[in-house]
A and B are shown apart, each in its own frame.
Chain A
Amino acid sequence: MTRKSLLAAFLAAAFATTAQAQTEIQWWHSMGGALGDKVNDLANKFNASQSAYKVVPSYKGSYPESMTAAIAAYRAGNAPHILQVFEVGTATMMAGKGAVVPVYKLMKDADEPFDPKAYIGPVSGYYSDSQGNMLSFPFNSSTVVFYINHDAYKKAGLDPAKPPKTWKEFNAAAEKLKAAGQQCVYTTGWPSWMHIENFSAWHNVPIGTKENGMAGMDTVFQVNSPLHVRHVAMLGDMAKKGLLTYAGRRNQAEAKFASGECAMLTSSTGAQANIRRTAKFGWSVNMIPYHDDVKGAPQNSIIGGASLWVMGGKTNNAYKGVARFFAFLSKPEVQMDWHVSTGYVPITKAAYDLTRKSGFYDKNPGADIAIKQLMNKPPTANSKGLRFGNFVQGREVIEEEMEAVIMGKKEAKPAMDEAVRRGNEILRKFQAANKG
């Protein structure tokens, strides 16, 4: 053996030990495609900024899939450190005491700066317990906005500079579009999120008792109120008149708008990137319509998207690394980069200010509609978010009943009564399973 190769072997061994000294932090997420690249980019930047920890992101499928995978992994004793969970999974994660480490505690134990007040109200409220402690780390937030096709508006003799503000104006515009030969007038993504959850917040009416479930698990649904019934009946009516084309429970509607098939769309802010890329017509982002005879409307809309949860049963050293990573993610410039490149809303006030100063909103009109809508008024008990046990099933029940109305198989009142009855059974079961 030559001296050179001995040296090489020695060096290799030395590197191997430093690699081992680096603590790996597993991060399971559901950001596919371009968003996934951005997640890897974030991890790489953090890894390059220090040498003690290495964040390893892995894509684990859709939101429900990665959550299921993490729950199964936790049961088997090898959960990831960080798990990205969508907003409807919040109650399930919160109830898993011991399975998760609250973020406020994690940051305090690691002496990392963490100020819940840095976040905009609808974001921090969504992920905090009743004492105001933030339990998960807000990551990607969106909300629903209202898109209109300018070319279709002009063809129907409507002024695209004056989009409908109320549902009354909306219906009038829809009739005109239909009369002008528009095949698909209006479609919507995420029917329950838009027409029940955000609808309730926007009109300052409860989705359920106990502050939409945030103040206790003994909550019951209230989505069969006269206002809800009236709104769902309106949707059924629009479908009957051919003004509403139903496209499915997720974001299938967005493609129908981007292709120019439908003239109006309510869906996630996240749709913007795709529309910008594919639309061959003028379009704009607007605030969602409201019923003008409801007192106090519009209030503020609520968020969707996901937050990062820290799973239990890991070493203190690893938790220190997670805390440092979160501190890195909290930096305004990182936040702004994420907001600008993905289309998610800026979740801290600092990031919003920074983006505004950078002139991004002047160049991309409408990119700030979402945050303006979220901060329209200070959130009330009805509009700071929701927390219903097993809302994956609950939302499905609501959507099944809405579909029955849109299909014309049920009247709005019995359908919403049924949604409440079925939804409450799910809530009671969740309460019984998590009382311990």
Chain B
Amino acid sequence: MEKRVIFRSAWLPYVLLLPQITITVMFFFWPAAQAVYYSFQLQDAFGMSSQFVWFENYLTLFRDSHYLSSFRVTAFFSVLVATSGILISLVLATMADSVVRGALAYKTFLIWPYAVAPAVAGVLWAFIFAPSIGIVTYFLKKFGIDWNWIINSEQAMLLVVVASVWKQISYNFLFFLAGLQSIPKSLLEAAAIDGAGPFRRFWTIVFPLLSPTTFFLLVMNIIYSFFDTFGVIDATTEGGPGDATKILVYKVYYDGVKAADLGGSSAQSVILMAIVITLTVIQFRYIERRVQY
């Protein structure tokens, strides 16, 4: 049974909600509304003149084959980031959970990268893999691998995925660890007595019980790879080579901030917003039903 608090006063609940609503309106709805407004405008850089152009900005985007390829790049990128990020941290969390000695140290080190800003993470990995001075590049050369992500699109994609995943593992790890620790030990012990091995225990007990966490992380990781990876990309490949790592949010930034094309950039953010809304709705409506809470 849910607990319900009954407010006698008609206005008190609204007053209590007001600070949160104000913040949401100011920082979420208002900018979103402005993006929608600007996406129908054609403006010069200084805002001296603006024309209402209906859907011209959107039509221009969909006529551009490179914008469409940016969707492919984004989809590929976010699937890679979300799945590998979740898998790796699940493995790490399971292992950290079973460690008896020095558990705190392991956990601290695993959580550490979360404190690093995406841009810093990008710079870090860019240095390690830098085409002429990177330490990994140096060793790869010994194995006969020519590592230059500046002009090799597959390597560029690999670099941004690795940097983004590394950054997100701590977050996933924390949630998985909390999830694992809330699984009653008695269940696992009972299964062990019945003769279930570690793998069987994991697949039949732990994994199903973790599914709410996994689902939540799936949503968060997709959103992360859509938006927050911007810093990683800006600090490393800047969308290149060609447009191999130009994900949607990076193009929004480039066109709007660097190229002063407000209309086109706003139209892209509106599309991006629509995609994320749709994805979230789908995830909650269809996938959530199969998740056991």
Q: Spell out A's residues near B (CB within 8 Å).
A: 64, 67-68, 71, 74-75, 92, 95-99, 239, 245-249, 252, 255-256, 259, 261, 390, 392-393, 396, 399-401, 403-404, 406-407, 409, 422, 425, 429, 432-434, 436
Contact = CB atoms under 8 A, between A and B. Distances in A.
A246 B148 contact: yes
Contacts of A248: 150, 240
Interface string B141-153: 0000000101111
Contact of A96 (B45, B241, B243): B45
A68 B258 contact: yes
A246 B258 CA distance: 23
B261 A429 contact: yes
Contact of A256 (B42, B44, B132, B261): B132
B64 A71 contact: no
Interface string B61-73: 0011010000000
**Shortest 5 CB-CB distances between A and B: which pairs?**
A436-B49, A99-B46, A246-B151, A393-B259, A96-B46
12 contacts: A95-B45, A99-B48, A255-B132, A261-B132, A390-B260, A392-B258, A400-B243, A406-B151, A429-B264, A433-B43, A436-B44, A436-B51
B60 interface: yes
Interface of B: 42-49, 51, 60, 63-64, 66, 131-133, 148, 150-153, 238, 240-243, 254-255, 257-261, 263-264
A239 B152 CA distance: 12
Contacts of B49: 433-434, 436
Contacts of A404: 242
A407 B153 CA distance: 8
A122 to B, nearest CB: 26
A245 B258 contact: no
A432 B42 contact: yes
A313 B183 CA distance: 66
B64 A433 contact: no
Given A390-B259, A400-B242, A247 B48 contact: no
Given A246-B151, A393-B259, A436 B48 contact: yes
A92 B260 contact: yes
B148 A422 contact: no
Contacts of A247: 131, 150
B260 A68 contact: yes
B84 to A, nearest CB: 25
B241 A403 contact: yes
A259 B132 contact: yes
Contact of A249 (B51, B64, B240): B240
B66 A422 contact: yes
Nearest to A242: B146
A interface secondary structure, majority = helix
Contacts of B264: 429
Contacts of A259: 132-133
A96 B151 contact: no
B150 A95 contact: no
Given A92-B260, A99-B48, A403-B151, 6 more contacts: A64-B258, A71-B45, A95-B45, A249-B240, A396-B259, A400-B66
Nearest to A311: B46
A256 B134 CA distance: 13
Contacts of A97: 48
Contacts of A401: 242
B44 A96 contact: yes
A425 B60 contact: yes
Give the most central of A247, A399, A400: most B CB within 10 Å.
A400
A312 B258 CA distance: 22
A68 B151 CA distance: 28
Contacts of B148: 245-246
Contacts of B263: 433
A280 B23 CA distance: 58
B160 to A, nearest CB: 15
Contacts of B47: 74-75
Contacts of B261: 390, 393, 429
Contacts of A98: 46, 48
Contact of B151 (A92, A400, A407, A422): A407
Contacts of A432: 42, 51
B248 to A, nearest CB: 16
A248 B263 CA distance: 29
B240 A403 contact: yes
A407 B60 contact: no
A433 B47 CA distance: 10
Contact of B44 (A249, A403, A406, A433): A433
Contacts of A252: 150
